[in-house]
């Protein structure tokens, strides 16, 4: 059977001098030679560029107008070219939301696994969440107190796009008259019009009633209907208090903490995504860190008292109104505002900077007409500074506040990126942030030893298979030391390249030409062997793999070795030798062959500089005093 080949004739890209070459397909091919000899010019700027150009030309004229045209490489002929994929050394972008887990799609499978098998626990008390009976739900609503006006709602749409005309029509036929759409009560008979491109939240109004002993039967019926319509979940909206709408009471017959008397929504894959509003930490928007005011930077001179503007960005003198607020905090917590900042207890400093939380503070305002007392919660100085920073429109004002800010881990999620509910779901005594904090090698061992029941194994079989395969590919290319939560911008070019290589191995494509740029760079010798096995796996699957390399082990493992040279730049651009490793060694013109055969070698230094010592740098030589310089100085001295 005739062997399929890739034929290149007259390649003149960059410093190539009319290179003509025939390469067999479905082989591991290594391009080597001195730096600047033309390896990358043939691999990336000729073969890959032509493959990309042909792909774009195969698209329709409508699609090509958005992509533009790629220039044709300077080459006479390329035949036998397969679909081409280039895996070069480049960073994975600057998006801080991209991590090793998201780039390799392992995080997506982990989200599904935790949503299906995770054991939910209460974020407050840590107790396992259990089912809540209808009687317990009714008792919880009754505990709001007699005379409380309530509205029982059944959630039917949560964060989905669409107009939902059929849903409204169906609910109207079933006897429901009202619904709450995106927080507003609407009449179903009015045929509400929704924007289909925006995500909506829709709850059907089951009943509106005032709690009392006589309404208990009616409440039972409303809860029963709501749980059926809402698939085990209902919302209870209470009347407004002090002009502000109270938060909805979320009750569920499936997920509730009986100790804290609190219900939760059922876990979904979106709840474990730090890129989704359903799962991200609201304080840091799922980034795991915040650019916020730092207490150490806020107080450059701790010898000052708070009233003497120890917190420097407060800037202006504290007037009577603000002073009576701070005095109320001091009286409630128990400290003196005139005490130097360094002598204040931590409790006092935290109260002034971060607020008093749920603690009620009584403020006393004294005037000639008497004393007026009022109370409330104190948010803290930092909350006020955040508000001023957000509202500042001047770049100079924002720059002033940024002097006192620092990027640091989020204090609410502790860098986990997820909200507290998502952090309270366990598989094998591990949460998703804990699994993401493992190295790839540790995660592979964890899932290999994970013990599941027969039913759980049946549910998670396909997901675990994908997770184990992808982790295995990453281990094979020598990335066992990376953590899944490692952000993409912090990866080196070689690490990014090997991650993309592992993704391609997992994709299982056949008949593709892969071109790699020194994938072994930065690898330990023992990991290099595993990398070569991964490249051989790509080849054995029916692909052609071209590697631009200087590594000896890769050269010897290649089916075909192509040596470029004989020198760099204008002295290169030719194929000096091509064939098997033995063919290159026999070629006397090949510099690479001479090193592979042992004729040439880089001598090992007889002595090495001790580890940690500084290299000796020769002192700069003093300039010799010339006769001209001496005469010039004497002339200047006479003038003086």
- Evaluate if residue 590 carries a pLDDT over 80: yes
Antiparallel, parallel or unpaired: β 370-376 and 513-517 = unpaired
Question: What three-state secondary structure class fits 617?
Answer: coil
Gap between the Cα atoms of 451 and 434, Å rounded:
17
pLDDT at 602: 78
Helix, coil or strand: residue 556 = helix
**Segment of 1-15, 181-195, 430-444, 622-636 carrying the highest mean pLDDT:** 430-444
Instruction: Please give the backbone phi and psi of residue 589, each rounded to the nearest 5 degrees, phi first.
Output: -80, -15
Identify which of 277, 274, 288, 266 has the alpha carbon closest to the alpha carbon of residue 118.
266
Q: What does the block give as tokens for 11?
A: 């390649």
Q: What is the mean pLDDT of the chain?
A: 86
In the numeric block, the tokens 């990376």 are attached to 482
Q: How does pLDDT run across 471-513, given as a tens digit for each residue? A: 988 988 888 899 999 998 888 888 888 888 888 877 788 999 9
Average pLDDT over residues 618-623: 56
Nearest to 441 by CA among 482, 500, 490, 498: 482
Confidence band, pLDDT 50/70/90 cuts, at residue 543: very high
* Residue 393: both structure tokens together: 């429109």
Cα separation, 352 vs 306, in Å, equals 9
Pairwise CA distance, residues 279 & 273, whole Å: 5
Whole-angstrom distance, CA of residue 153 vs CA of residue 203: 6
Q: How confident is the model at residue 639 (pLDDT cuts 50, 70, 90)?
A: low
Kindly tell me if the per-residue pLDDT of 634 is higher than 80: no
Q: Are strands 233-238 and 199-210 parallel, antiparallel or unpaired?
A: unpaired
Angle 381-391/395-402 helices, nearest 10 degrees?
Answer: 150
Please report the domains of the chain, with CATH numbers, ordered by start residue. Answer: 5-90+492-597 (3.40.50.300), 121-266 (3.30.190.20), 290-408 (1.10.8.280)
The predicted model gives 1-8 an average pLDDT of 80
Question: Would you state the pLDDT for residue 640?
Answer: 46
The whole model's pTM is what?
Answer: 0.68
The pLDDT score that the predictor gives to residue 578 is 92
Helix (H, G, I), strand (E, B) or coil at 425: strand
What's the sign of the alpha-carbon dihedral 235, 236, 241, 243?
Answer: positive
The pLDDT, as a whole number, for residue 620 is: 56
233-257 average pLDDT score: 75
**Token pair in block for residue 177:** 């008259």
Give the chain's radius of gyration (CA, Å). 35
């Amino acid at each position: 059977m005739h062997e399929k080949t890739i034929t290149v004739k007259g390649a003149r890209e960059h410093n190539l001098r009319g290179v003509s070459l025939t390469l067999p397909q479905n082989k591991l091919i290594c391009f080597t030679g001195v730096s600047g000899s033309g390896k990358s010019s043939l691999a990336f700027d000729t073969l890959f560029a032509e493959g990309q150009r042909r792909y774009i030309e195969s698209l329709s004229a409508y699609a090509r107008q958005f992509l533009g045209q790629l220039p044709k490489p300077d080459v006479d002929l390329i035949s036998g070219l397969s679909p081409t994929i280039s895996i070069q050394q480049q960073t994975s972008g600057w998006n801080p939301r991209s991590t090793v887990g998201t780039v390799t799609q392992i995080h997506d499978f982990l989200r599904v696994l935790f949503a299906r098998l995770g054991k939910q626990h209460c974020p407050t008390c840590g107790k396992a969440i259990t089912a809540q009976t209808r009687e317990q739900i009714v008792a919880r609503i009754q505990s709001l107190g007699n005379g409380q006006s309530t509205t029982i709602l059944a959630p039917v749409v949560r964060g989905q796009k669409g107009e939902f005309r059929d849903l409204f029509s169906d609910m109207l036929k079933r006897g429901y008259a009202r619904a709450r759409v995106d927080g507003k009560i609407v009449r179903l008979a009015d045929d509400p019009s929704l924007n289909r491109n925006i995500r909506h939240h829709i709850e059907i109004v089951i009943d509106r009633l005032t709690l009392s002993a006589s309404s208990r039967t009616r409440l039972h019926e409303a809860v029963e209907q709501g749980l059926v319509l809402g698939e085990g979940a209902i919302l209870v909206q209470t009347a407004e208090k002090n002009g502000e709408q109270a938060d909805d009471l979320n009750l569920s017959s499936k997920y509730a903490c009986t100790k804290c008397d609190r219900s939760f929504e059922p876990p979904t894959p979106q709840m474990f995504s730090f890129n989704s509003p359903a799962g991200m930490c609201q304080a840091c928007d799922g980034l795991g860190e915040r650019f916020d005011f730092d207490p150490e930077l806020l107080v450059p001179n701790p010898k000052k008292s708070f009233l003497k503007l120890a917190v420097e960005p407060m800037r202006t003198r504290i007037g009577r109104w603000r002073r009576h607020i701070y005095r109320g905090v001091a009286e409630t917590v128990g400290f003196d505002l005139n005490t130097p900042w360094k002598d204040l207890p931590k409790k006092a400093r935290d109260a002034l900077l971060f607020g008093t939380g749920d603690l009620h503070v009584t403020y006393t305002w004294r005037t000639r007409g008497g004393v007026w007392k009022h109370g409330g919660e104190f948010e803290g100085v930092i909350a006020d500074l955040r508000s001023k920073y957000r509202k500042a429109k001047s770049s100079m004002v924002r720059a002033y506040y940024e002097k006192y800010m620092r990027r640091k881990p989020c204090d609410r999620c502790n860098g986990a990126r997820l909200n507290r509910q998502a952090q309270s779901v366990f598989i094998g005594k591990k949460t998703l942030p804990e699994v993401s904090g493992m190295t790839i090698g540790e995660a592979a061992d964890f899932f290999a030893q994970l013990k599941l029941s027969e039913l759980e194994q049946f549910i998670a079989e396909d997901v675990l298979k994908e997770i184990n395969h992808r982790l295995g590919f990453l281990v094979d290319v020598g990335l066992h030391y990376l953590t899944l939560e490692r952000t993409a911008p912090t990866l080196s070019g070689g690490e990014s390249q090997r991650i993309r290589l592992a993704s391609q191995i997992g994709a299982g494509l056949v008949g593709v030409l892969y071109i790699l740029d020194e994938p072994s760079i930065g690898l330990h010798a023992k990991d290099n062997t595993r990398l070569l096995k991964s490249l051989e796996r790509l080849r054995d699957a029916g692909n052609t793999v071209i590697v631009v390399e200087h590594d000896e082990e890769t050269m010897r493992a290649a089916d075909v070795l192509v040596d470029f040279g004989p020198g760099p730049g204008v002295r290169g651009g030719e194929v000096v030798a091509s064939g098997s490793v033995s063919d290159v060694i026999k070629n006397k013109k090949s510099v690479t062959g001479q090193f592979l055969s042992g004729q040439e070698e880089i001598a090992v230094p007889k002595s090495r500089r001790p580890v940690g010592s500084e290299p000796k740098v020769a002192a700069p030589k003093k300039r010799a005093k010339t006769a001209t310089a001496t005469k010039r100085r004497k002339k200047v001295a006479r003038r003086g």
